[in-house]
């Protein structure tokens, strides 16, 4: 997607993984791969200690994560004021079925980012962010579509969140049962899960051939 | 999964859908179907206006949503004190590819729940919630596995969140382009997305036949 800064992130009080710390990871490469594979994030913010968690699309350019929306959006209006944000991306990779109810789990890869977001005012950065949103969903889509006109640009707010305080958490592999439970007559293992594309559905006025990257879409 | 209270929810200041209100839905049946199809939720809470968004598993019994974890979990320790929670479940159904960059979108179904969580102290309710977690992931799994022992029950906190203040937001269907853009030579339509199970992988010490509901897992 873009260049990777090789320097790892330093865990902070907020971003350090405290529960099952061996699943924590602070490598930029790991964090960016999860962000680039995901399609939606959950943006958390608080107004007078009232939390809100809003799902939204995002894009990444180098060490910045971008979100966007309407100038009327409560989320964007709130974040613009510089309040703290917690943005989380989660990929579900499998169901972990153990012999005991207690040891059931899930395989996943998640990233949690902390920081404050800033309104992108620079026209060039804003356009690059909008391209990143589109190409994040389908590579090279930006080249094919009509770019935003002046009115659409004015009608879109873009906010940037620096990727400086973040951590990944990853679980992989089979269930881990208590030793005594391995003799129980219970099947145990993993059901892998994947977000899979079905056959693309052209809209009723579509006159063009379906592009290769749409036909063979994989994540 | 369980009985559905037929009464619809009343939108509140917090739960009312303000952006694109025609996508908002307050029917219990719609909300519960989304919750029952999802596998993970994102739990948002704030400590001194610092938001946290944590992905976790959940279960539903009637009009209560349950989350669980270790007594050492910061999230559960914080929520137990009665602070406000915002819990969001999002299902991604498709990529909406328009002729213009601006009208790109996603098809999704999401639920946002507001309220405060309570520690489940009643032993019977706690066990029913733990069964709901397990059976939420794979139906009837609870009947096959070793139930939690006393030590495991003590090592698990269960919190309940009442489904009284919640809303769904749903987008379906094709892209909507500006009239002038329909003549552009750009393919437009929807790429459906679905969480699909791969072939189940028995762990290295598994001696049992794979159960039917694991072999034929669908969401």
- Report whether A102 contacts B142 (CB < 8 A): no
Q: In terms of Cα–Cα distance, which of B165, B218, B175 is closest to B15?
A: B165
Residue B120 located in a structural domain = yes
A81: alpha, beta or left, given left = phi > 0 and alpha = psi -120 to 50?
Answer: alpha
- Pull the structure tokens for residue A171: 């679980």
A136 is a domain residue: yes
Domain assignment present for residue A9? The answer is: no
Size (chain A), residues: 219
Contact B112, B167 (CB under 8 A): yes
Q: Which of A16, A39, A53 to mutate to test the interface with B (most CBs of B within 10 A)?
A: A53
Chain length of chain B: 219
> Which residue of chain B is at minimal alpha-carbon distance from A211?
B187
Phi, psi of B34 (to 5 degrees): -65, -45
Kindly provide the ipTM of the predicted complex, given to two decimals.
0.95
Q: Is residue B85 within 8 Å of residue B44, measured between CB atoms? A: yes
Q: Do B211 and A187 touch (CB under 8 A)?
A: yes
Q: Inform me whether the C-beta atom of residue B143 falls under 8 Å from chain A C-beta atoms.
A: no
Average pLDDT, whole number, for chain B?
95
**Closest approach of B128 to chain A, Cα-based (Å):** 12
In this prediction, residue A3 carries a pLDDT of: 56
Residue range B167-175: mean pLDDT, rounded: 97
Long-range contacts for A141-147 (Cβ within 8 Å, ≥24 apart)?
A141/A213, A141/B97, A141/B101, A141/B104, A142/B101, A144/A211, A144/B186, A144/B187, A145/B98, A145/B99, A145/B100, A145/B101, A145/B104, A145/B186, A146/B99, A146/B100, A146/B101, A146/B181, A146/B184, A146/B186, A147/B100, A147/B101
Tell me which chain B residue has its CA closest to the CA of residue A45. Answer: B51
Whether the pLDDT of residue A1 is over 80: the answer is no
Tens-digit pLDDT profile for residues B15-59: 999 888 999 999 999 999 999 999 999 999 999 999 999 999 999
Q: Do B205 and A184 touch (CB under 8 A)?
A: no
Is residue A14 in a domain? no
Backbone angles phi, psi at A146, to 5 degrees: -70, 125
List, in sequence order, the alpha helices (H) in chain A.
Answer: 28-37, 74-79, 123-137, 141-144, 150-154, 212-215
- Can you give the pLDDT at residue A4? 59
- Give me the pLDDT at residue A19, please: 86
Contacts of A204 in chain B (CB under 8 A): 174
B2 has pLDDT over 90 = no
Domain membership flag for residue A94? yes
Q: What is the pLDDT of residue A63?
A: 97
Count of domains in chain A? 1
Task: For residue range B76-95, list pLDDT tens digits in order.
Answer: 999 999 999 999 999 999 99
| Spatial separation of the C-alpha atoms in residues B180 and A205, rounded to whole Å | 12
Secondary element (H or E) of residue B15: none
Size of interface A-B (CB pairs under 8 A): 291
The answer to whether residue B55 neighbours chain A at the CB level (below 8 Å) is yes
Domain that residue A197 falls in: 21-215
For residue B159, the 8-state DSSP code is E
A216 touches chain B (CB under 8 A): no
Q: B150 at the A interface (CB within 8 A)?
A: no
Q: Which of B24, B45, B53, B147 to mutate to test the interface with A (most CBs of A within 10 A)?
A: B53
Strand (E) or helix (H) holding B177: none
pLDDT of residue B207: 84
B8 CA to chain A: closest CA distance, Å?
22
Query: Over pLDDT 90: what percentage of chain B?
Result: 93
Does residue A128 lie within any of the structural domains?
yes
A10 located within any domain? no
Question: pLDDT tens digit string along B57-81?
Answer: 999 999 999 999 999 999 999 999 9
Q: How many helices (H) and strands (E) does chain A have?
A: 6, 12
The pLDDT of residue B4 is 59
In angstroms, the separation between the Cα of residue B4 and the nearest Cα of chain A is 25
CATH number, position A180: 2.30.110.10
> Residue A108: which of B55, B83, B186 has the nearest Cβ?
B55
State the Cα–Cα distance between residues A141 and A91, nearest whole angstrom. 23
A134–B14: do the CB atoms touch at under 8 Å?
A: no
Query: A42 in a domain, yes or no?
Result: yes
Residue A25 has pLDDT above 60, yes or no: yes
Contact (CB<8Å) B40/A193: no
User: Beta-carbon neighbour count of residue A68 at 10 Å?
Assistant: 20
């Amino acid at each position: 997607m873009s260049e990777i800064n090789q320097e790892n992130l330093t865990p902070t009080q907020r971003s350090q993984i405290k529960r099952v710390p061996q699943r924590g990871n602070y490598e930029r490469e790991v964090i960016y791969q999860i962000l680039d594979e995901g399609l939606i994030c959950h943006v958390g913010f608080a107004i007078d200690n009232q939390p809100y968690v809003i799902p939204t699309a995002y894009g990444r350019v180098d060490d910045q994560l971008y979100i966007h929306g309407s100038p009327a959006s409560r989320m964007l209006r709130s974040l613009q004021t510089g309040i703290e944000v917690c943005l989380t991306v989660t990929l579900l990779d499998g169901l972990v079925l153990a012999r005991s109810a207690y040891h059931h789990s899930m395989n996943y890869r998640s990233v949690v980012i902390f920081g404050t977001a800033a309104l992108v005012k620079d026209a060039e950065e804003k356009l690059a962010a909008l391209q990143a949103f589109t190409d994040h969903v389908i590579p090279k889509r930006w080249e094919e579509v009509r770019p935003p006109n002046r009115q659409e640009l004015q009608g879109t707010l873009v906010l940037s969140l620096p990727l400086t305080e973040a951590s990944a958490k990853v679980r992989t592999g089979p269930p881990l049962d208590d030793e005594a439970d391995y003799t129980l007559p219970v099947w145990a293992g993993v059901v892998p899960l994947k977000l899979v594309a079905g056959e693309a559905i052209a809209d009723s006025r579509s006159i063009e051939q379906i592009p290769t990257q749409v036909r063979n879409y994989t994540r």
